[in-house]
Amino acid sequence: MATRPSDGTNQSLGEAFADYVPSLEGRDIVTIRERYGLVIDGQEREAADGRTLTTIEPGSGAPLAEVARGGAADVDAAVAAARRAFDDGWRGLAPRVRAKYIFRLARLIQDRAREFAVLESIDGGKPIRESRDIDIPLAAAHFFHHAGWADKLEYAMPGMDAHPLGVAGQIIPWNFPLLMAAWKLAPALACGNTVVLKPAETTPLTALLLAEVVAEADLPPGVINIVTGDGEAGAALVSHPGVDKIAFTGSTTVGKAIRRELAGTDIRLTLELGGKGAHIVFDDAAIDQAVEGIVDGIFFNQGHVCCAGSRLLVQEGAADEILRRLRRRMDLLRVGEPLDKNTDVGAINSEAQLGRIGAFVDEAEAEGCEVYQPLGALPGQGFFFRPTLVTGLGGSERIAREEVFGPVLTVQTFRTEDEAVAKANATRYGLSAGIWTEKGSRILWAAERLHAGVVWANAFNQLDPVSPFGGVRESGFGREGGRQGLSEYLRLEPRA
């Protein structure tokens, strides 16, 4: 059994992959400019104080582009533009016309899907297979889904009069840049709101490509404004008195600060925060499928997934066999260049995140946990981390309790159903959980008891615009997707 390789190469797998020829998706299909501005009122402009930030390509570590670093003055201009767009037309637009615009966005994203996928992988580091097959199609699906609701809100909210809230401030993270933008923008627009969107500082480029699509779709200026920047721009948006709603996806720490900031105001708030999802495997589970589910649950998107199944709980009798097969499966995961179509695990989003993940694993090892990582070469540049399995935990280690947000799976065992649920619930988070068993009654029994906004059975990480997504406890509140997601962007009054 291999433990942690000390350097980038190894005799066995390193050699097996030595003559591997990558199959790269062409980066020439995207144009990356040297400099990007903010998009306010349909116009691109520099930040008021001229500041910029550099977005990096995680797969190489090289700078990609300079992007405007928005501040309070820019947020103020963007909120004013969104208010004008709301008052001057968007709120009063016939719902079927709103629908038409959102359908256009969906179709244009589909038309330019390859471009979006390549840009997402370059700027964020995720494997092209995922951006091509999951992120971009799902983003288009969210616009299609919500376009369909725009003129059917009275059916979505029976017995209620549904009104838009006004201006929505939306702050998103770097793990699913375009998809999180779609989760935020599509319902807001469908419900008749206008928007100021703040992308994450490490992944602004697909939101800026989306701004091109918004112009192409001929949306009225000011309906969607994009203020790139760092946490300062996010904070300015949260504290702006002109917004009617804040929708935030990000860390629990920032989410809590936002909630404190908005306490006592009537600004509507939804928070999609961190997670520490339990992935429970009973000894009667279909073992190969469960192993695939476990791999997908934690190594999808390098584990930069709020709903990742980062805590594996296996029933004692099946643990040895499952871990044996899991290690073998991990050995076959190809960590590599994000634009390589055969890459399974791409680049870690930033050097800072790479450092955080490494620190978690080093600390666990120092505390006496066993760390397993497949050997084999990592790319010579960029930010990469091997898929990692951590066993021998007591349960009180930081790695067992806190969100790592990387390709790191901890393992604990359990004997009974009650113990499985108790261990799964022993966290301050409550976003996702997964159960693998052949027994339907056990799935229903456990799903009722698990403190999680989403519970998957014999599957993991399945996302669909029809199904509401969100957390409980310190994973936040509010839902995105489904009918529930719409109501977060509406003021409802009982129909007279």
From 120, 201, 272, 474, active-site residue: 272
CB 355 to ligand NAP: min, Å:
13
Out of Mg ion, ligand NAP, none, what residue 219 binds, judged by CB under 5 to 8 A for its kind, is none
Nearer to ligand NAP, 236 or 420 (CB): 236
Question: Judged by CB, which is closer to ligand NAP: 401, or 439?
Answer: 401
| Residue 123 is a binding residue for Mg ion (CB under 5 A) | yes
- State how far the Cα of 194 lies from the Cα of 90, in Å rounded to an integer: 7
Q: What stretch of H or E contains 114?
A: helix 113-124
For ligand NAP, the closer of residues 162 and 463 by Cβ is 463
Give min distance, CB of 271 to ligand NAP, in A. 8
Q: Is 191 a catalytic residue?
A: no
Rounded least distance, CB 257 to ligand NAP, Å? 6
DSSP 346: -
Shortest distance in whole angstroms from residue 349 CB to ligand NAP: 8
Shorter beta-carbon distance to Mg ion: residue 123 or 403: 123
Identify what 123 binds: ligand NAP, Mg ion, none; CB under 5 to 8 Å per kind.
Answer: Mg ion
Q: Least CB distance from residue 119 to Mg ion, whole Å?
A: 10
> Who's near 103: CB < 8 A, 6+ residues apart?
143, 144, 147
230 binds, among ligand NAP, Mg ion, none (CB under 5 to 8 A by kind): ligand NAP
What DSSP line would sit under 307-345, residue for residue? T---EEEEEHHHHHHHHHHHHHHHHT--B--TTBTT-SB
Name which of Mg ion, ligand NAP, none residue 273 binds, using a CB cut-off of 5 to 8 Å depending on partner kind.
ligand NAP
- Alpha-helical regions (H) of 17-94: 72-85
Q: Which of 345, 411, 332, 418 is nearest to 382 (CA)?
A: 345
**Nearest position to Mg ion, beta carbon:** 55
Q: Does 120 bind Mg ion (CB under 5 A)?
A: no
**Crossing angle between the packed helical segments 440-449 and 417-425, to the nearest 10 degrees:** 30
Give per-residue burial for 33-68: e unless 16+ CB within 10 Å, then b: eeebbbbbbbebebbbeeebbebbbbbbeeebbebb
Distance CA 248, CA 265 (A): 16
Assigned token pair, 18? 């030595």
Q: Rounded CA gap, 119 and 304, in Å?
A: 18
DSSP string, 370-406: EEE---SPPPSSS-----EEEES--S-SHHHHS---S
Q: Which residues of 369-389 are buried (b: 16+ CB within 10 A; e: fewer)?
A: bebbbbbbbbbeebbbbbbbb
Q: At its nearest, how many Å lie between ligand NAP and the CB of residue 7? A: 29
| Nearest CA among 97, 111, 47 for reference residue 75 | 47
Q: How far is the CB of 123 from Mg ion (least distance, A)?
A: 4
Question: Sheet containing 35-36: which strands, arranged edge to edge?
Answer: 35-36, 62-68, 52-57
Question: Tokens at residue 278, please?
Answer: 């339990």
Q: Which stretch binds Mg ion (CB under 5 A): 18-26, 199-207, 250-258, 365-373?
A: 199-207
| Least distance from Mg ion to the Cβ atom of residue 203, Å | 5
Is residue 321 part of the annotated active site? The answer reads no
Given 115, 201, 306, 480, the catalytic residue: 306
Local structure of residue 285 (DSSP, 8 states): S
Question: Which stretch, 115-123, 208-216, 257-265, 457-465, contacts Mg ion (CB under 5 A)?
Answer: 115-123
- Pick one of Mg ion, ligand NAP, none as the site partner of residue 257 (Cβ within 5 to 8 A by kind): ligand NAP
Task: Return the one option of ligand NAP, Mg ion, none that residue 250 interacts with (CB less than 5 to 8 A, by type).
Answer: ligand NAP
Question: Residues interacting with ligand NAP, by CB under 6 A?
Answer: 171-175, 198, 200-201, 230-231, 234-235, 238, 249-251, 254, 257-258, 272-275, 306, 403, 405, 431, 471, 476
Smaller CB separation from Mg ion, 25 or 296: 25
Q: Give residues with Cβ within 8 angstroms of 320, minimum separation 6.
A: none
Select from 60, 131, 202, 412 the one that contacts Mg ion (CB under 5 A).
202
Q: How far is the CB of 24 from ligand NAP (least distance, A)?
A: 28
The one of Mg ion, ligand NAP, none whose footprint includes residue 76, by CB under 5 to 8 A per kind, is none
Q: Looking at beta carbons only, is 31 or 396 nearer to Mg ion?
A: 31
Strand 278-281 and strand 432-436: the pairing is: parallel
Chain residue whose CB lies nearest ligand NAP: 234
Among the listed ranges 69-77, 118-126, 312-320, 458-466, the one in contact with Mg ion (CB under 5 A) is 118-126
What is the spatial distance between Cα 38 and Cα 67, in angstroms, rounded to a whole number?
A: 8
Site track 369-408 with Mg ion (rule: CB under 5 A), x = hit: ----------------------------------------
Phi–psi pair at 390, nearest 5 degrees: -115, 120
- Closest to ligand NAP by CB, 383 vs 405, is 405
Residue 387 or 485: the one with the smaller Cβ distance to ligand NAP is: 485
Q: Which does 87 bind (CB under 5 to 8 A by kind): Mg ion, ligand NAP, none?
A: none
User: Does residue 357 contact residue 405 with C-beta atoms inside 8 Å?
Assistant: yes
Name which of residues 37 to 66 contact Mg ion (CB under 5 A).
Answer: 55-56
**Residues near Mg ion, by CB under 5 A:** 55-56, 123, 202
What is the set of active-site residues?
Answer: 272, 306
